[in-house]
Amino acid sequence: MPESLSVTDNRTGRTYDLPIENGAVHATAFQQMKLDDEDHGLLLYDPAFLNTASCTSRITFIDGDRGILLYRGYPIEQLAEHSNFLETAYLLIHGELPNAAEYAAWEHEITIHTLVHENVKSFMDGFHHDAHPMGMLLSTVGALSTFYPDATKIYDEEQRRISIYRLIAKMPTLAAFAFRHSRGLPYNYPDNDLSYSGNFLSMMFKMVEPRYQAVPEIEHALDVLFILHADHEQNCSTNAMRAVGSSHPDPYSATAAAIAALYGPLHGGANEAVIRMIERIGSVDKIPEFVAGVKAGKERLMGFGHRVYKNYDPRAKVIKRMADQVLAVTGTSPLLDVARELEKVALEDEYFVSRKLYPNVDFYSGFIYQALGIPVEMFPVLFAIPRAAGWLSQWEESLLDKEQKIARPRQVYLGASSRDFVSMNEREVQRPTIVAAG
Ligand code: CMC
């Protein structure tokens, strides 16, 4: 027997049977619940999408209560241990792990697209020396659309493919150029003999040596971080990618919008905010005062809490272990001790326990980036590089989904009802009441 939901509209006394499909009810089924013919039907009010599925997807699965994250069915812990970022990106985009020939072809395509047009360097040069690299990244990714006008042919599979290669390939180049610009250093061109993460580190840090070879443990750690950040189902930036993509612009423009969404401190900017917060706390003895401030609502404990995870974020578990491994190579950080103690205090505190607030992916990732010599303002950029693979797989899935249309939410209007225009000299002067001091 098909699953259904019976709803009685107590305004009219009528009962409706709504089909349940895949654990969801179509919101449009509520439109038939009307008071009269003039009524547009019942709306579902859900600011911030707390309980609204905006799409069906076959890419990433999260069970927030049990702390499970799967890409195309594969547990994130297994991918972090056995895969590399490019293979994981292939999995996200294509739905299956590649065989050896498919992987070689994919790696080749990404590698040959790492260069950017020379004019991009002129845009970079136009930014102030202290411009935030995330701002530089989002502007230059958006600007890429002007170099590839054919990218607007989004229903041409070949064009989609090449845009995907270009975006995954060029994000590290643009990110490294942004960093080099902020340091006043010459731009390093890609080295196509290096791995994806090895090449990124080379473009970031190569000085005058003929070839930059990253420390293998560091190259590996960065690659694992890229895997962990590659996708996370319908988060704020992915929703931006899908929503902007739904009006059918080229994918460079949609990716720039997704980067803008990721920029905020509540999303991809949180890893930067965590380090600034820990630096501010400074030492273990200041933790009680800081935690008291958080509990009093003065600020948030950055790197804690998640809309979906009500348990330890599985990515944070991998990162915490990796932070220890990386710091064993690069030398320990006193701030990491503060973070560990802060985590311990928070996990034992009733405020955090009762709200199911656990460390998320951003709590420890910054310590690894710092140990790699990457400055804090680059942290969100390091989130954006791998997330491009997730955004693009979600964008393509959305384009090919026959149920999708241009994203256009409804609203519950609470403003003034219709009224006549009043000329300026007839308007009553409304001034804020000034309370006299003293
Ligand atoms: N510190 C202190 N209190 C918190 C925190 C926090 N980090 N996060 C949530 N709360 C409290 C919040 O004040 C509320 O308490 P009350 O019920 O008394 O009003 C309760 O927990 C529920 O919070 P919420 O704001 O309704 O939860 P949300 O799902 O809207 O927010 C979040 C999720 C990630 C924006 C939020 O937890 C937060 O601001 N965390 C800090 C920023 C952060 O680390 N962001 C990275 C997220 S993971 C990477 C990514 O995917 O972007």
pTM of the predicted protein model = 0.92
Report whether residue 310 contacts ligand 1, using a CB cutoff of 6 Å.
no
DSSP, collapsed to helix, strand or coil, labels residue 277 as helix
Q: Which of 159-173, 252-266, 314-328, 376-390 has the lowest mean pLDDT?
A: 314-328
CA distance 188 to 204: 7
- Residue 274: alpha-carbon gap to chain centroid: 16
- Is the C-beta atom of 270 inside 6 A of ligand 1? yes
Protein residue with least CA distance to atom 40, ligand 1: 305
Which of the listed residues 46, 306, 311, 391 should we mutate to test ligand 1's pocket, taking the one with most ligand atoms within 8 A of CB?
A: 306
User: How many residues in total does the chain contain?
Assistant: 438
Dump pLDDT digits (tens) for 57-108: 999 999 999 999 999 999 999 999 999 999 999 999 999 999 999 999 999 9
Any idea where the domains of the chain sit in the sequence?
A: 67-407
- pLDDT above 70 coverage of the chain, percent: 98
Distances (CA, A) of 382 to 82, 249, 262, 270: 21, 25, 11, 12
- Ligand 1 center–CA 1 separation, angstroms: 40
Q: How confident is the model at residue 272 (pLDDT cuts 50, 70, 90)?
A: confident
Query: 304 CA to middle of ligand 1, Å?
Result: 7
CA-237 nearest atom, ligand 1: 52
Which residue, by CA, sits nearest to atom 24 of ligand 1?
A: 307
| pLDDT value, residue 324 | 84
Q: How far apart are CA 38 and CA 141, in angstroms?
A: 46
The CATH number of the structural domain formed by 67-407 is 1.10.580.10
Q: Are 233 and 92 in contact (CB under 8 A)?
A: no
| 63: number of Cβ within 10 Å | 13
Pocket lining: 182 vs ligand 1, CB cutoff 6 Å? no
Strand order in the sheet with 68-71: 60-63, 68-71, 74-75
Widest CA span in the chain: 81
Catalytic residues: 306, 362
* Inter-helix orientation angle 119-126/133-147, to 10°: 150
Distance CA 381, CA 75 (A): 25
Task: Cite the DSSP H helix spans in 235-286.
Answer: 236-245, 251-263, 270-281
- Say what the pLDDT of residue 264 is: 92
Average pLDDT of every residue of the chain: 95
Alpha-carbon distance values, 248 to 239, 396, 404 (Å)? 14, 11, 12
Residues 327-351 have a mean pLDDT of 91
Ligand 1 in contact with 362 (CB < 6 A)?
A: yes
* 117-122: long-range contacts, CB 8 A cutoff, minimum separation 24: 117/147, 119/147, 120/144, 120/174, 120/177, 121/177, 121/187
Asked which of 80-84, 158-162, 201-205, 368-372 is least confident by mean pLDDT, the reply is: 368-372
Give dist(CA 339, CA 350) in Å, integer.
19
Beta-bridge mates of residue 16 = 7
What distance in angstroms lies between residue 77's CA and the mean position of ligand 1's atoms? 24
- Please indicate whether residue 59, judged by its CB atom, sits closer than 6 Å to ligand 1: no
| Distance from C-alpha of 177 to C-alpha of 136, rounded to nearest angstrom | 9
Q: Given the CA of residue 235, which atom of ligand 1 is nearest to it?
A: 51
Mutation test of ligand 1: which of 238, 278, 355 has the most ligand atoms closer than 8 Å to its C-beta? 355
CA angle 100–103–109, rounded 5-degree value:
145
- Residue 355 Cβ inside 6 Å of ligand 1? The answer reads yes
Q: In this model, does residue 437 exceed pLDDT 60?
A: no
Determine contact, residues 132/377, Cβ cutoff 8 Å: yes
Ligand 1 pocket residue status of 357, Cβ below 6 Å: yes
361: Cβ below 6 Å to ligand 1? yes
